[in-house]
Amino acid sequence: MTTKRDFYDVLSINKNASDEEIKKAYRRLAFEHHPDRDRSEGADGRFKEINEAYEILRDNDKRAAYDRFGHAGVGGEPTGARGFEGHSGFGGFGDIFDAFFSGSNGAARSRPSKERGADLLIEMKLTFDEAMQGVEREVRFQRSETCDICRGSGGKPNTEPEICSSCKGTGEVRRTQQNLFGQYVNISACSKCNGEGRVITQPCPTCRGNRRIKKERNIRVVVPAGVDSGNRVRMNGEGESGRRSGSPGDLYIELNVAPSPMFQREGLNLFLRLPINLAQASLGGEIKIPTLNGEENFKIPSGIQSGQVFRLKGKGSPDIHNKKMKGDLVLIADVVVPQKLNKDQKELLEKFKDTLPSEIDFINKDETKNFFDRLRLNF
Ligand SMILES: [Zn+2]
Ligand SMILES: [Zn+2]
């Protein structure tokens, strides 16, 4: 027959101890005899015994059964660890202890888990035409990838990491501290193994134990038509490798678009200065203008003023979000007055001048309004 100590004796309390007293006694003893701390012979057994006693006495029903029938009343003739694990429903004493003390330290004691790889940002320079037409280009960049020699373990192939001597493989260090309410346990990640519980004694020669290595990569980037400086293309999962099976980060390509020597961009609209001479402005005519699709003929009506605006629908920048959408090409007339005239031109203009009225009309309301409207360039 096995000899099993009385649960009340184990916790050093008397039979009518309150719930609070039971809890207190358990805390004190569990702490004192935790295998991390108590290195004496039989410490494991004592710790299990304490937990087993507490498991029964903290539960009013089980405690009542135990009070009436002793160990038999709580299914408990088996001894030691087996019995404890069998009826407690817990995985082991470690779990019980953690459930009790982890409370506010939950985050600190959790093992390092999956870690997503870092995002990467690289710059891509584009000409204005490339930005407007869209472009496909290969870029070269460097990223950290899981070492393929050790498959990210950091250890030399065919070697195993050793259990950390500092934390005995638990990955955490418990320190007793004292505050107003008594002793409590501060749990932090073990610094020797970074909370992993294992240390690599023979590092992988390729990554030197870093688990990752820098690699040069080429990637094909498809830039949609209509992008602007500051836009970013995201390549899912093309960033750095994660750690501990974490997913990889993303690769961002930030675009830097060179300005166009002709077009001013304003959202989806492109503005083009339309230089025309005195005669064209007066008589009208046809000229060639640059557009995103090459040169096009543009018919100038007669009597054009500087600042006059012509809007060519759908000849502006494509919309990156909607292939069918395009902005407008806005032409702004700039009537260029010649600064140098040869003799013949001078004579012709003199003759022309004689045909014009010599008085200037400053109080033409419509002309005045038109002029200021043009200056405001309200497109
Ligand atoms: Zn390696
Ligand atoms: Zn450790």
Q: Do domains 120-161+200-257 and 263-376 have the same CATH topology?
A: yes
Average pLDDT, the chain: 84
Distance of CA 60 to the CA centre of its chain: 50
CA of 147 to the centre of ligand 1 (A): 5
Closest CA to 276 of 306, 296, 297: 306
Instruction: Classify burial at 114, counting beta carbons within 10 Å of its beta carbon; exposed 0-12, middle 13-18, buried 19 or more.
Output: exposed
CA of 339 to the centre of ligand 2 (A): 85
Whole-angstrom distance, CA of residue 290 vs CA of residue 307: 18
CA of 163 to the centre of ligand 2 (A): 8
Closest ligand relative to 154 C-alpha = 1
Going from N- to C-terminal start, the domains of the chain cover: 7-101, 120-161+200-257, 263-376
Whole-angstrom distance, CA of residue 48 vs CA of residue 85: 9
CA of 54 to the centre of ligand 2 (A): 29
Question: Residues 353-368: pLDDT tens digits?
Answer: 999 888 877 888 888 8
CA of 239 to the centre of ligand 1 (A): 19
Question: Residues 82-106: pLDDT tens digits?
Answer: 333 333 333 333 343 443 443 434 3
CA of 351 to the centre of ligand 2 (A): 101
DSSP H or E segment with residue 329: strand 329-336
Residue ranges with CB less than 5 Å from ion ligand 2: 164, 166-167, 190, 192-193
Closest ligand relative to 213 C-alpha = 1
Check if CATH label 3.40.640.10 holds for domain 7-101: no
The CATH classification of domain 120-161+200-257, taken from the options 3.40.605.10, 3.40.50.360, 3.40.50.300, 2.60.260.20: 2.60.260.20
pTM value? 0.59
Question: Residues 211-234: pLDDT tens digits?
Answer: 899 999 999 999 999 999 999 999
Does the pLDDT at position 75 exceed 70?
Answer: no
263-376 folds as HSP40/DNAj peptide-binding domain (2.60.260)
CA of 244 to the centre of ligand 1 (A): 13
The residues, any chain, with a CB within 8 Å of residue 357's CB and separated by 6 or more, are none
pLDDT grade, residue 278 (50/70/90)? very high
Give the model's pLDDT for residue 90: 36
